[in-house]
Amino acid sequence: MAVWRTPYVNAASSPSAEDVGWARQVIDELDEDGHGVHDGSDLPTLAKAKKITELARAFHVGVSR
């Protein structure tokens, strides 16, 4: 891959601001460690939120935690 393409790949690979906001809300409700999980269906949602947060940190997209 040519170096000049890196910003385009990063933009396409990074989560959107809306995704990051959703992930924050889910983690706030369910807790990072899952203490707020109500049933098994919350677990995949929490896992997705954590993955989005991890990607946001890697791409420096609006994550302060």
> In this structure, how many other beta carbons lie within 10 angstroms of the beta carbon of residue 14?
18
CA atoms within 13 A on the CB side of 38: 4
Mean of pLDDT values over 41-49: 96
Query: What confidence tens digit (pLDDT) does each residue in 6-15 have?
Result: 989 988 999 9
pLDDT reported for residue 46:
97
pLDDT reported for residue 23:
97
Query: What confidence tens digit (pLDDT) does each residue in 17-26 have?
Result: 999 999 999 9
pLDDT reported for residue 64:
62
Burial of 1 (0-12, 13-18, 19+ CB in 10 A): exposed
Q: Which two tokens stand for residue 58?
A: 């890697």
